Structure formats: C-alpha cells, structure tokens
Amino acid sequence: MTSTAITGITELVTNDPTTGEGALGILHDAALVLEDERVAWVGPRADCPPADRGRDLGERSVVPGFVDAHTHLIFAGDRCHEFVARLTGQPYDGRGISETVDATHDASDDDLRALLRARVAELRGQGTTTWEIKSGYGLNTRDETRLLRLAGEFTTETTYLGGHAVPAALRDHREAYVDLVVGPMLEACAPLARWVDVFCEPASPVAFDGEESRIILEAGIRAGLAPRVHGNQLGEGPGARLSVEVGAASLDHATYLSDEDVDLLADAAPEGGPVVTFLPLVEYATGHAFPDARRVLDRGVTVALASDCNPGTNASSSLPLAMSLAVRHMGMTPHEALWSATAGGAAALRRTDVGRLVPGARADLAVIDAPTFLHLFYRPGVPLVRALDDDHFAC
C-alpha cells in the first residue's frame, strides 16, 4: 500500500459539512492523503501525516471530480446542421435520432471505441471523473447490446436506453417496437447494464407516452435494472409522476414542471425520491427556456447538473459550462451548482463513494488552476480545471 500526500491546496471542497465550512465543507490551506485510489485523510496542511511520497499542487484549489450522471457518449457521426437549423427557428422534436442510429450502425467496434475513448479524455480534461453512458443509438438488439458492451469498457454506470425512440421503420407499429424493447432486446442487454431509461415525451412523435414508458421501465425493473427517466423536456407531461411512481433514481431534463409535478417530487424527496437532474447545456443548444431550479431546490428536492453530451441537442461535455449556465439562468448559486455537479450527480447515480472528498471515498480529485472554485464562474470558458492525474498538473 503506497500513500501520497497532496499539499499546496489553497481551498479544498469536501462536500462534507462536518469536515469544513458550510454545505461544501470547505477547508483552507488544506491537504489530503491518498492510499490505493481512496482518500485516507483530509485536514489542514499543518496536520498532514507522513506519507510515502508527496505532491505539491502549487497553491491551487481542489474539488471532488465532477459526476456526470447523464451522457450519450457512444455514437458515430454528428448533427451540427441541426444546431444551425435551430438558429433559424426549426424546433427539436427528436426526429434526428434516426440519423445517428444509421451512422452508429455503420461504425465498427474499433471506430466506436476510439470515439468513446476520445470523449472520455475530453471529460477528464474538464474535471469529470465519473460518468454514466446510455445506449439508445442502436434501436435493435444487436446494436443496443454492442453499445452497452463497449460502454462497459469505460464505466460501470451503463444505461439500457432501447426506449430512446421508435425506429422509422416501426413508426406505424409502435406496439411491436415496445414488445421488442421489453422482450428480446432487454433480455440481451440487461446483463450489460445497471440502469434502464426511457424517453417519456408525448410531445415528440418518436418518443414514448406515459403508458409505453411505464411498460418499459417496469420490465427493466423486473430484469434487475434500476430506473431513470428522460421526462418533461419538451413540455409538461407524465414523466415526473412516472419517475416518482416507479422509484426512479433521477428525473432528467425536467425543463417543464407543473406545480403538481413539483409537489410530487417534493413529497417524495424525504423518502429518497428522484433526484432532479437538470441539463442546461441542452437549453443552450436548443434555444428552449431554462428551467427554474429554485422551484425544486426551495422545496428540498435534490438537484444534479449533468451534460447530456449527445450528437443532437448538445454536443458539449463541459460541466463547468453547465454550472455557469445554471448560475446565470436557473437561479442557482455557485455553491449549489458545484454541489449539484459533484454530490448531486453522485446522488443521481445512488453513489456514496464519489462526489465528495472524505476518508473512504474514491480519490477522484479535480484541480482548479485558481485559488478558489469561484473562478469557474468568474472566468467561464477558460480551461481552468482538470482531473488530478492529467499531465497539466504534474509536479
């Protein structure tokens, strides 16, 4: 067992109020000791115990690595033309998914693996150390299985999203596609996934209504998968209620919530109800109104921020940018945004070993080239933060 003392930390965010100041548990002039990829000790630099080796970060701030609980990282091709079209007023309705499905079907395993490896490096280069990856660009048993198998090479947080969209060839036979998603496709994919998800969005002609979504989620639960829900992205709908009723870990998007939806989520919160995972980079890319995070935060609902990196509605993997948008447009404070991109993302994945820096947690550190994490908001768009093991912060 080799220990490493990390010093030269002007400000350390632990996300543990019993360790430091405020909800973020902030320590100043701090240090950590890491052992075997875990945090062994946290405290003032002057009290740092001896270790086998040391690493001085040169008076930088440290936060828990960002936890991105909603991504679609495995796909081929791009749809940049959709972004340009939206600038002229063309709305998003989900139809472009089929274009990515075709490109992904034609890509080899090696092609997809190389694309995924590059995107993961991009995440880590912006401070993200834990990420979820969904399937959903296969929409047939062979490709959905293939996407999950490849995603599993890069994360344990894999999500079966056969219920992403109804393929073009089956638009007039929706029931047959739902039968496939809950039948042979689920049987093949369940061993490769931790989660089951569905795009519950009656406002989209390619997504699933409330009853179809319930059928898909309940089948996934019976197969041993834990549920998540894409919901309330394009308008008010059944997603919020469904997420509560099936015990989903997270309701993602939640752009349009009715007062009744907020009441349901708030009532469920004390019993470990769904985390509301906001995806503000999607609102930026699609031109939709940003959700009001204060409505749910003030009701005691746990909030996460995630990227939703995907080829159609947001191609950015930048959680620092998502955090800045949340502060500027969603009523969140910088402290709330940082917590939501770290501990909030961990809660959305039902994880306690990431999103905080306390003894026993994973040694997933993000280093900010600034004296305080507030520079992430003060200097938006500047590449200030990276995962600790990147060469940029080699000492």
pLDDT of residue 289: 95
Q: Which amino acid is at 387?
A: A
Q: Which helix (H) or strand (E) holds 32?
A: strand 26-35
Name the strand (E) or helix (H) holding 179. Answer: helix 174-182
Mean pLDDT of 150-166: 98
Assign 390 a pLDDT band (cuts: 50, 70, 90).
very low
The string over 129-152, giving b where at least 16 C-beta atoms fall within 10 Å of a residue's C-beta and e elsewhere, is bbbbbbbbbbbbbebbbbbbebbb
Q: Residue 391: pLDDT above 50?
A: no
Q: What is the mean pLDDT of residues 146-173?
A: 96
Determine the pLDDT at residue 97.
87
Q: Which of 272, 329, 286, 273 is nearest to 305 (CA)?
A: 329
Domains belonging to the chain, first-starting first, are: 3-65+355-393 (2.30.40.10), 72-348 (3.20.20.140)
Span 126-136, pLDDT tens digits:
999 999 999 99
pLDDT of the residue at 96: 82
State mean pLDDT over 263-282. Answer: 98
Taking the C-alpha atoms of residue 116 and residue 75, their distance in angstroms, rounded to an integer, is 8
Nearest to 227 by CA among 67, 355, 348: 348
Lowest mean pLDDT among 59-68, 87-96, 148-157, 296-305: 87-96
| pLDDT of 94 | 67
Residues 11 and 30: beta-carbon distance below 8 Å: yes
Closest CA to 282 of 245, 248, 312: 312
CB 354 within 8 A of CB 129: yes
| Cβ neighbours around 331 below 10 Å, total | 16
Calculate mean pLDDT across residues 323-333: 98
pLDDT value, residue 13:
98
Give me the mean pLDDT over the 340-362 stretch.
98
Q: Which pLDDT score, from 0 to 100, does residue 394 have?
A: 39
Position 82 scores a pLDDT of 87
Helix (H, G, I), strand (E, B) or coil at 60: strand
User: How much of the chain is in helix, strand and coil states, percent to nearest 5?
Assistant: 35, 20, 40
Confidence (pLDDT) at 392: 40
Query: Would the pLDDT of 201 be above 80?
Result: yes
Mean pLDDT, residues 163-190: 96
**pLDDT tens per residue, range 70-124:** 999 999 999 988 888 888 888 776 678 889 999 999 999 999 999 999 999 999 9
- 47-77 pLDDT tens trace: 999 999 999 999 999 999 999 999 999 999 9
Percent of the chain at pLDDT > 70 equals: 98
pLDDT of 93 reads 67
Q: Which residue has the tokens 């998968």?
A: 225
CB contact at 8 A, 333 and 327 = yes
